[in-house]
Structure 1
Amino acid sequence: MNRRQMITGGVALSLFGGNAAMAQAMRPDFLPVEVAIRPDIAPNELHVLPDSFMLFWTMPGARAMRYMVGIGRPGLYESGEFFVGAKKEWPSWTPTNSMIERNPAYGEWKDGMPGGPNNPLGARALYLFEPGRGDTFLRIHGTNAPGTIGTAVSNGCARLVNDQAVDLYNRVPLKSRVVLHSQSV
């Protein structure tokens, strides 16, 4: 474990209890695991801890399901408080103008890519909204690139492997609170 992993594991430990730090050390398996969390964290919320590439779905009884995720590249991750404003199975994907500017190859899909196994949003997506702003174009979604889990490579979204995205999608109702915690770097 390097210094950064130790620090980010400590942040996860302080927020969500000892099992999160242990999960940090066991990252290579990427399997979801139920963990104990602090009792003051409300159930039925999503929390993304970008420094440790962890997403928690909080449950009653000071428990949470912990998933490993990929997050937004430096400068594209947006912390804040959101809510799940829409949920989609096999969502279509349309790159934003900023995404096309950063990667002109996305221009091929400026009118959208239909949902399916080759779609970058994967099998399921939770659409993040803010009051007064509406759709933020941030998503918690599946991915057809499982090797990107545990890395900062996306255009600002959090991604899970597809089967875990389906599991999370089935647990999370519309209007659930979502907290994308700040990065330490």
Structure 2
Amino acid sequence: MRNSEIALTNNGIAGAGEKHEGTRPVPRSEGLSRRSFLLGSAVGFGALGLAGCVTNDGMSLAEAEKLYGPVADKKFPIPAADISQVDPKYFRRTVRFESNEAPGTIVVDPSNYFVYRVEGEGNATRYGANVGRQGFLWNGDAYVGRKGEWPTWTPPREMIKRQPEVAKYAGGMPGGPENPLGARTLYLYQKGVYTLYTLYSTSDPETIGTNLTSGCTGLLTQDMIDLYDRTPVNTKVIVLPA
């Protein structure tokens, strides 16, 4: 079975729906094909390409290639991301960010396909992301209840009903390069209960900047590792309304 046929669902999860007036991203400039929790057909998304030696956001190709190069992980080798498939505005960078939240707080902005890690002093690290499709979006306050490196993936019952072909994974799909959750996953909780919402790593660069998942938010593997390594359990996560 192709991983593009694997999806997760957040059906039945009620988000808090709170607005956070004190949290507003200020960008510097405007400018499962594999592990992306896709449901249905894959998007027809053409390669954007990078013109010349500098991206339109000022990052050199050499810098981008280094940022998204191969990773010598302990369990499985992680290949370089094909950055020609990603709009340069979604590359990881430090941006101005007005927020009253404590440093380390994660803010998910599904409308603009960004995830922010508040760094303090008016700055944040910004990552490009893929997000949930209409009908699968969730918003509210949560926290990182647990973390997983190459975690096991278990499809929810609702998904097995929709896609019987994943029933063989009802007991769990071992972690690895073909697992939908990828190399790193942050699981979001509310009041001790898992929301079914995760931040996970995808090696499908063409999905960044799109609404393709069944509710969760995917970052390029290199970006997710960066965020994962700097995010302890109990970190606050704010998912803004789309």
Interval of TM-score (by shorter of Structure 1 and Structure 2) = 0.7 to 0.9
Q: CA deviation at 1:39?
A: 4.8
Q: Which residue of 1 aligns with 2:135?
A: 75
1:80-91 equivalences in 2 (<5 Å): 80-91=140-151
Contact 1:43–1:62 (Cα < 8 Å) also in 2: no
Q: Which residue of 2 aligns with 1:128?
A: 188
Specify every segment of 5 or more residues in structure 1 that has no aligned partner in the other structure, as ranges: 1-13
Ranked by relative contact order (alpha carbons within 8 Å, sequence separation 6 or more), the top structure is 2
Q: Which residue of 2 aligns with 1:59?
A: 119
The change in CA–CA distance for 1:163 and 1:75 in structure 2 (over 3 A counts) is same
Contact 2:24–2:99 (Cα < 8 Å) also in 1: no
Q: Which residue of 2 aligns with 1:3?
A: none
* 1:51 partner SS: coil
Stretches (4+) displaced over 4 A? none
Identity %: 34
* Structure richer in strand, relative to its length: 1
Q: Which residue of 2 aligns with 1:173?
A: 232
Contact 1:46–1:56 (Cα < 8 Å) also in 2: yes
CA distance in 2 between counterparts of 1:130 and 1:28 reads: 33
Q: Which residue of 1 aligns with 2:167?
A: 107
CA distance in 2 between counterparts of 1:113 and 1:156 reads: 19
Contact 1:120–1:144 (Cα < 8 Å) also in 2: no
Q: CA deviation at 1:138?
A: 1.0
Q: Determine whether 1:33 maps to 2:93.
A: yes
Amino acid at match of 2:240: H
The change in CA–CA distance for 1:69 and 1:109 in structure 2 (over 3 A counts) is same
CA distance in 2 between counterparts of 1:136 and 1:95 reads: 14
When the two structures are aligned, how many residues end up with a matched partner? 167
CA distance in 1 between counterparts of 2:96 and 2:108 reads: 16
For 1:11-70, what per-residue CA distance to the aligned partner results, in whole angstroms no more than 9, with x for missing partners? xxx811242x525x8570232001111153432111111111000000121110000111
* 1:38 partner SS: strand
The change in CA–CA distance for 1:53 and 1:115 in structure 2 (over 3 A counts) is same
RMSD value, Cα: 1.8
Find the structure with the greater CA-based Rg: 2
